[in-house]
């Protein structure tokens, strides 16, 4: 995988392969624990991928094969997260990174191999799809560190797995297997060890071949549907759908179907 332009930190590799923008967490000596400079880098990399029309999908993975993300780098907390003021600054930077990932207009895929802990679970939850290897493990050990998550972070987890499973994850602080994570809905599916990378790349390629406006509309409408009924922006949803029908891609899709060929979508 070749780096695509400079990354704000050596602990994250940003690369583009075909139509996929890769964010590779590159701190394997610490099981890809997330340092403050890594949190800062995520929005900058996403900005670059979002501006590039050739990038149709954004995929995230950990370097080294041992961990996706093992949570925040606790070893730097005495320097960057010791005082209430530092905690507030640190949380704001981390939350901005996760929010930018959550709001990315392009489909996002978490490719999880090994440990996915604490803040790593939060990053995975911010992605649209989550695939894991069978040997992966998941945990949020907040109760063993004496810290708490904000309501916005907990809501993402509750929306995905339900209140009972979310409480079990937090109350016990134990590790869950990939099979358990799949059953509770934390991940889309898990693959046998050694098959994850090929599956993820194939899935990203399939997504990249499809109509970007249709995917963007689906992502936007699903985001609205996650809100309370009274807060859903129905006009925005309708505008997203109308944009698809008014697009050149819709005409291309019709022609390709009639001509029995693969469509060539341009996102316009």
In the predicted structure, residue 150 carries a pLDDT above the cut 90: no
Q: How confident is the model at residue 152 (pLDDT cuts 50, 70, 90)?
A: confident
Q: Give the lowest-confidence range in 2-11, 136-145, 184-193, 207-216.
A: 2-11
* Sign of the four-CA dihedral 75, 80, 81, 83: positive
At residue 234, the pLDDT reads 96
In the predicted structure, residue 171 carries a pLDDT above the cut 80: yes
Q: Give the lowest-confidence range in 3-12, 22-31, 98-107, 176-185.
A: 3-12
Helices (H) and strands (E) in the chain, counts: 11, 10
Q: Take residue 211 and report the two structure tokens written for it.
A: 């109509």
Q: pTM above the 0.85 mark?
A: yes
How many angstroms separate the CA atoms of 82 and 93, rounded?
A: 15
Q: How confident is the model at residue 5 (pLDDT cuts 50, 70, 90)?
A: low
Query: 72: which DSSP letter?
Result: B
Q: How many CA atoms lie within 13 A of 147 on its CB side?
A: 16
Q: How confident is the model at residue 4 (pLDDT cuts 50, 70, 90)?
A: low
In this prediction, residues 15-34 reach a mean pLDDT of: 95
Buried b (16+ CB within 10 A) or exposed e, 84-114: eeeeeebeebbeebbebbbebebbbbbbbbb
In this prediction, residues 161-190 reach a mean pLDDT of: 97
Residues paired with residue 133 on neighbouring β-strands, in sequence order:
191
188 in Cβ contact with 129 (< 8 Å) = yes
- Residue whose entry in the numeric block shows the structure tokens 């670059």: 48
In the predicted structure, residue 173 carries a pLDDT above the cut 60: yes
Fold (topology level) of 12-207: 2-enoyl-CoA Hydratase; Chain A, domain 1 (3.90.226)
pLDDT digits (tens, 9 = 90+) for 211-240: 999 999 999 999 999 889 999 999 999 999
Strands of the sheet with 137-139, listed across from one edge: 67-69, 115-117, 137-139, 176-177
Q: How many CA atoms lie within 13 A of 236 on its CB side?
A: 12
Q: Checking DSSP bridges between strand 20-25 and strand 67-69, what pairing results, if any?
A: unpaired
pLDDT digits (tens, 9 = 90+) for 34-73: 999 999 999 999 999 999 999 999 999 999 999 999 988 8
How many angstroms separate the CA atoms of 131 and 111, rounded?
A: 5
At residue 7, the pLDDT reads 74
At residue 116, the pLDDT reads 97
pLDDT digits (tens, 9 = 90+) for 78-96: 888 888 899 889 889 999 9
Average pLDDT over the chain, rounded to an integer = 93
| Domain range summary for the chain, segments of one domain joined by + | 12-207, 211-258
């Amino acid at each position: 995988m070749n780096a695509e332009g400079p990354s704000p930190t050596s602990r994250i590799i940003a690369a583009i392969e075909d139509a996929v923008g890769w964010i590779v967490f590159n701190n394997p000596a610490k099981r890809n624990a997330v340092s403050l400079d890594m949190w800062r880098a995520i929005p900058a990399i996403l900005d670059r991928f979002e501006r590039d029309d050739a990038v149709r999908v954004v995929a995230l993975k950990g370097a080294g094969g041992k961990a996706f993300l093992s949570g925040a780098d606790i070893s730097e907390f005495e320097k960057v997260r010791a005082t209430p003021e530092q905690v507030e600054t640190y949380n704001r930077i981390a939350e901005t990174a996760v929010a930018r990932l959550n709001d990315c207009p392009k489909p996002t895929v978490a490719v999880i191999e090994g440990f996915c802990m604490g803040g790593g679970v939060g990053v995975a939850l911010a992605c649209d799809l989550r695939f894991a290897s069978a040997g992966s493990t998941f945990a949020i050990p907040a109760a063993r560190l004496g810290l708490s998550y904000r309501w916005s972070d907990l809501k993402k987890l509750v929306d995905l797995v339900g209140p009972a499973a979310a409480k079990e994850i937090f109350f016990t602080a134990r590790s869950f297997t990939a099979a358990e994570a799949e059953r509770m809905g934390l991940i889309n599916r898990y693959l046998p060890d050694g098959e994850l990378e090929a599956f993820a790349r194939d899935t990203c390629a399939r997504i990249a071949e499809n109509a970007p406006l249709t995917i963007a509309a689906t992502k936007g409408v699903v985001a609205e549907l996650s809100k309370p009924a009274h807060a859903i922006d129905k006009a925005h949803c309708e505008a997203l759908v109308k944009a698809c029908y008014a697009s050149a891609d819709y005409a291309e899709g019709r022609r390709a179907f009639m001509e029995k060929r693969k469509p060539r979508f341009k996102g316009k």
